[in-house]
Structure 1
Amino acid sequence: MSSIDTIAFDWVARLDNAPLDISDAVALQHWLGSDVRHRGAFARAQSIWMSAGRVAALRGMPIHVPTQARAPSRRAFLRGAVAAGMAGAALIPRRFADASEIYHADSGLMRLSQPECGEIILDQGATLRVRRRIGPPAFDLLAGRMSLTAARVALPVNMDGLFVELQPSSRLIAHATGTESDALVLQGRAVSRCAHERMDRVLHARDWIRTRLNTVTVTTLCDDDIESAAAWSRGKLEFQSVDVADAVYQMNRYNARKIILNNASCAHRKISGIFTQNDPVGFARVLSEIFATRLSVSAENITVS
């Protein structure tokens, strides 16, 4: 491994072992921001670790990772995993040193139930790690969007340097992309902390916090913006003057039966409305009615021309 890949691996291993303290989190953000190659190496190391988990996480099934007395350390496992992955070798995980579960939503929305939570909803493509420990679980949102409800206890959430402790009887939507993170409090309140800051923030319902590198913004959203931001968690897609091509892309993310847009004149026209995620035929029919396109429906796809 190159020195950059070695450093990236060490950061991934440290993040896997326990949440970073503020000084380490600041150091990580500084290292990631100092060279674009660092972000690439960090993403590769994370991907290899996540790929090891996905061998068992078929179709969104959780990976149960029990503690075992003779299990190799996570650092030792990851070191071999990264080396094998970068050499192009097949990787099959065996034993792990800590207890955690990984969930990956690869076929639409994924709904989870945890004793301390109300409901957890993962958006299509989201990856969540639930770390088991004494007391309530800790959540690491590795990618995508999650809706989380804290029923009886405070729940910690980590999103690429944005740390949020959701208070009891509260709900939020969290989002992580690898380059930026954000969280929207839908109900109740939360305490947030960013990696490069020393003070906590108290967020209330409607507050939306967003962090990218060393920039943090907090905005209070209106009802319409909140409804739009939360639509996905209700199985809806809300478009407000969006290009048809972009709307089709979003609809296709949630469905095996894809919409094929063969009408170039329609691609960049705007569409607004609220649509059901798992009803691509209904969405395509709306396109046909609005833009006078032809519709061809088969078992495999839906062609708009």
Structure 2
Amino acid sequence: MTGKELKGNPVDAIAFEWVARSDRAPLHDAERAALKAWLEQDVRHRGAFIRARALWASAERLAAFQGMSSSPVSLPCVPLPVTRPLAASVSRRETRLTTGRRSFVRMAIAAGMAGMALVPGSPAEAARVYQARDGLMHLHDAHWGDILLDQGALLRVREGRGQPCLDLLEGQVHLIAGNTDMQLNMNGLSLVLPRAASLMAHAGSGESDALVMAGNISARCAGERTGRLLHACDWIRYDHRHVSIKKVSRNDIDRLTAWSRGLLEFRSVEVVSAIAQINRYNARKIALKNSRLGGERISGVFSLNDPEAFARVLGEIFGAEILMSSGGITLR
């Protein structure tokens, strides 16, 4: 990462350099003292340091993931132009990486701060990794189709033998295949979407699941000799120990996929949990200072990127006082 790349946020640059320095070797007493003093200067320094450390750990996981790849790809991935109907602006940088693990980690952190990275699988392979850091991220390609990433989702996009191949590393994604078949891999579960098929998939710690919304989708789990064919409304879950498939109603599909339409649907959800979900998608946070209100339950459909409207609804229903400020929204 160069100073030029992070000139818009020097605090992030300094935090990154501290994380990189401490990873290379244990800090000396003088360095530890200097780091402590810098962290105590401003609460933003501590936040930037925590963020840089998290990005470093994420980059290490991506490097390890690449090392486990069993099917290297010889073609560079086809670029997907980014559109932003629901997401904040995304900075893009394109670099072919053929360096070692340490250099990769540094580059992944630089791109992670920008929202997108390029990840090497082998010297001949270039793959894009997209991370939705400020709301939803929409990727579109007329040939491949549409990809919508939920907040915090991390997705690698590459092309092998002409077929788009996606690796969902964490989080949630909504896919609609375009004019060609599309493959999605996550935590040992592999899915192939034919043209115009669509699904919603989620990858978590040690488990993954996918909900088929349209089309017939082939699914295979790690270690299986034969796969299975999934149909619309089938929901498959895999956790490295067993596989389960069940049918989901159309009403439940609408609720589970509401986020992909810019909405959050709550059905008798505790207010404290609903606020936490709204806060995931917004820089302008809602702070709950009313302990009684936290245990109340709320139902309804709300815009995921309008915390002020959600706070007003809570105020009207439960009689809470609402304080608006440039720093956020307080309910008490």
TM-score by length of 2: 0.68
In structure 2, the CA distance between the partners of 1:138 and 1:236, relative to structure 1 (3 Å rule), is: same
Counterpart Cα distance in 2 of 1:191 and 1:50: 34
SS in 2 for 1:148: strand
SS in 1 for 2:225: coil
Counterpart Cα distance in 2 of 1:251 and 1:9: 28
Counterpart Cα distance in 2 of 1:194 and 1:236: 31
Would you say the 8 A contact 1:259–1:301 is kept in 2? yes
Q: Give the structure 2 partner of residue 12 of structure 1.
A: 65
Tell whether 2:162 aligns with 1:135: yes
Q: Give the structure 2 partner of residue 211 of structure 1.
A: 238
Would you say the 8 A contact 2:63–2:105 is kept in 1? no
Cα-to-partner distance string for 1:256-282 (whole Å, 9 max, x where unaligned): 000000110111211111100110000
Tell whether 2:309 aligns with 1:286: no
Would you say the 8 A contact 1:237–1:275 is kept in 2? yes
Would you say the 8 A contact 1:243–1:268 is kept in 2? yes
SS in 2 for 1:145: strand
In structure 2, the CA distance between the partners of 1:10 and 1:282, relative to structure 1 (3 Å rule), is: closer
Counterpart Cα distance in 2 of 1:106 and 1:160: 22
Once structures 1 and 2 are overlaid, which stretch shifts more, 127-136 or 152-161?
Answer: 127-136
Match for 2:117 among 44, 52, 63? 63
Q: Give the structure 2 partner of residue 117 of structure 1.
A: 144
Q: Aligned-pair distance for 1:131?
A: 1.3
Would you say the 8 A contact 2:107–2:117 is kept in 1? no
> Identity across aligned pairs (percent)?
43
* Runs of 5+ unmatched residues, structure 1: 1-7, 20-45, 67-72, 75-95
Aligned length: 243
Q: Give the structure 2 partner of residue 195 of structure 1.
A: 222
Would you say the 8 A contact 1:150–1:166 is kept in 2? yes
Would you say the 8 A contact 1:59–1:107 is kept in 2? no
1:84-233 equivalences under 5 Å are 97-233=124-260
Matched to 1:15, the amino acid is M
Counterpart Cα distance in 1 of 2:63 and 2:322: 53
Matched to 2:187, the amino acid is D
Match for 1:259 among 273, 277, 286? 286
Q: Give the structure 2 partner of residue 84 of structure 1.
A: none
1:38-53 equivalences under 5 Å are 52-53=107-108
Matched to 2:245, the amino acid is V
Q: Give the structure 2 partner of residue 54 of structure 1.
A: 109
Would you say the 8 A contact 1:196–1:214 is kept in 2? no
Cα-to-partner distance string for 1:70-113 (whole Å, 9 max, x where unaligned): xxx85xxxxxxxxxxxxxxxxxxxxx552100100000000001
Matched to 1:154, the amino acid is D
Cα-to-partner distance string for 1:115-142 (whole Å, 9 max, x where unaligned): 4322110000000000133302200000
* Runs of 5+ unmatched residues, structure 2: 1-60, 73-100
Counterpart Cα distance in 2 of 1:53 and 1:291: 45
Would you say the 8 A contact 2:199–2:214 is kept in 1? yes
TM-score by length of 1: 0.74
Counterpart Cα distance in 1 of 2:66 and 2:183: 20
